[in-house]
Each structure stands twice: as structure tokens, then as C-alpha cells.
Amino acid sequence: MKADMRNIGVIAQKEFADQLYSPGFRMLLGIFTLVVLSMSFISGKEGCELFNQGFGFIDVAQVITLFLPVLGLSLGFDSVVREKNSKSLNTLLTHPVFRDNLISGKIMGGIGTLILVVFISVIASIGTLLLITGIDVGLSELNRILVFSLLTFLYLSGFFAFSLLISIVSKSSESSFISGLVVWINLILIFGAIVTAASSIITGESIVNLGYNEEAMSMSGDLQKFSPASYYAEAVTGVRVSYGSFGISSGKETKGIFDTRVGLGTWFADYWTNMVVLTAIPVLMFIFSYLVFLRRDIGGEKG
């Protein structure tokens, strides 16, 4: 057991270091941080009241919702397939390192990197807003920031878990990256436009007048639930933020995690299903990754 934990720790450290020194990951993280800083600065200058109904945070939340998944995908898309094609995976498995140690180490290393990314994201977004607006932060506000960080971590974990799974089943880093990119584009970036078009077709209402049709709006809201972005954005802002579609209110008493008009208990009662979904997605993906990796014939595959 001690040997297993030592192996997992060594692999996790290596994975964490590989991600930090990856030029592609650092470039993506730098670009994302600059964008979030800019959006937060603009929202702060416009008088965003973060700890009220959180409406001024919607623009920043939209950037996080749409583009943070790319960082999650970049963490795992070549995590396994790179080593598999370089034959280092076969060499590693000839040592007293079991497959479950290897996949556990890669997951732990990725999670460590996720925590760093979430920390930077929270500092860039919430920290900037607090500095510009001069809002005092007490224990209640700090608790809400921590819950927001947890939501962001769970949301990002889902995409990391998916990219890890794709890396296991793909034959090349290129195909793994393209697969992840296609999923991100369709499930996050243009999903709102797809939902809008689908609602228009099903209800027979023109896209121009779609916002005035209650049936179409209700259908659009239901269809948006097929995207994890909907659950994250709704829990954070109280609105299903979706690019190319309608920002549909949750209709709940609490307007997101930063709505201080009501307590955290009320927020949890309104959005516990969002938390369950955001937790279930990475957990199921990690379990599936374990099962696939343990059963896959690594040695017999060719790059």
C-alpha cells in the first residue's frame, strides 16, 4: 500500500510539473487570465455590485463558462496518448507500477493543476472586482467565494476528466485534441445557437420573435440543461448564460451564489441539483477512464 501511494505521488508530481512547464498550457492560462482581468476591470468600473444579486458579474461569468473548459481539456488531451506513442508507457509499466497507480497519479496531478487554475481564476475575477469596488469582505462573503471556487473546480474537472478519457482511447495527440475541441465548440461555444435553432424549428416560431414566445423560451431553457455550462452558470449567477441564445433566469428565489439577500442555505436548497450534476460528471468520467485504461491493450497498440 505504501509503495502504491509512493508511486501515485511520484506520477502526480511529474504530471503536475509537466503541465506547469507546458508552453501551450501556460499560453492558454495567460490569455484566459488577461481576458478575465479585463472583463472584471470593466465590470468593476461600471459599478458591479457583486454581493447583491450578482447581475454585474454575468459578463465575467460568461467568459469563465465559455472559455475555462479549454484549459480543462488542455490538461488531459495528451496525458496518456503521448506516453503511449512514445513507448514510455510500456517502459513504465515494466517497473513495479500498476496501471491503477498510473491513472491515479495522472488524475491527482491534473487535479493539483486544476486547483491552481481555479485559484488564479478566482483571484483574477473576484479579486479584481473587490479591489476596484472597495467592497468589504466578511465571513459570509468569503464563504460565497469559496463555494464559487468549488463550483468552478467541479465544472473544470468535468472537462479534464473527459479529456483524460479521450486521451486513453485516441491513437494520437492530434485526434485527441480535435475530439476535445469539437466537443467544446458544440457543447459550450455554439450550444446556445443550436438550442435557439432547435427551439425555433420545434415551435415553428421565427428566431426574431423567439424571445416573445413562452413555449419557445421554456423549450430553450429545457434544452440548455444538456450542457454542463447551464448548471454552472445558473448556480453562479441565477441565469443560464449561453452564447447565441437567451439568458434565461432560473426562476429561483436566489439569484446565484453572490445573492446576499438570502442565506447560503436557501441557495443550496435552490441549486443542490446543480451541485450534484457538476459533481457526477467528473466522477463518472474518472471511473470510466479507470475501467477503459485497465482493460485496454496498451502494449499491442501502435501510434
Per-residue pLDDT of 114-150, as tens digits, reads 999 999 999 888 888 888 877 777 788 889 899 999 9
pLDDT value, residue 88: 61
Q: For the chain, where are the alpha helices, taking DSSP H only?
A: 2-20, 23-45, 58-76, 81-85, 88-93, 99-122, 128-133, 139-169, 173-184, 191-203, 214-223, 228-237, 264-295
Q: What is the pLDDT along the chain (303 residues), one digit of tens a residue?
A: 555 778 788 888 888 888 888 888 888 899 898 888 888 887 777 766 677 655 567 778 888 888 899 999 998 888 888 777 766 655 555 555 677 888 888 899 999 999 999 999 998 888 888 888 777 777 888 898 999 999 999 999 999 999 999 999 888 888 999 999 999 998 888 887 788 778 777 777 676 566 666 777 777 777 888 889 989 988 998 877 665 555 666 667 778 888 888 889 999 999 999 999 999 999 999 999 999 988 876 554 544
Q: What does pTM read for this prediction?
A: 0.87
Question: 240-253 pLDDT, tens per residue?
Answer: 766 555 566 666 77
Report how far apart, in Å, the C-alpha atoms of 185 and of each of 137, 159, 268 are. Answer: 37, 13, 30
**Residues 6 or more apart from 81 whose CB is under 8 A from it?**
167, 168, 170, 171, 172, 173, 176
Phi, psi of 94 (to 5 degrees): -80, -15
pLDDT value, residue 93: 55
pLDDT value, residue 251: 67
pLDDT value, residue 14: 84
pLDDT value, residue 303: 40
Measured between alpha carbons, how far is 185 from 29 in angstroms, rounded to an integer?
18
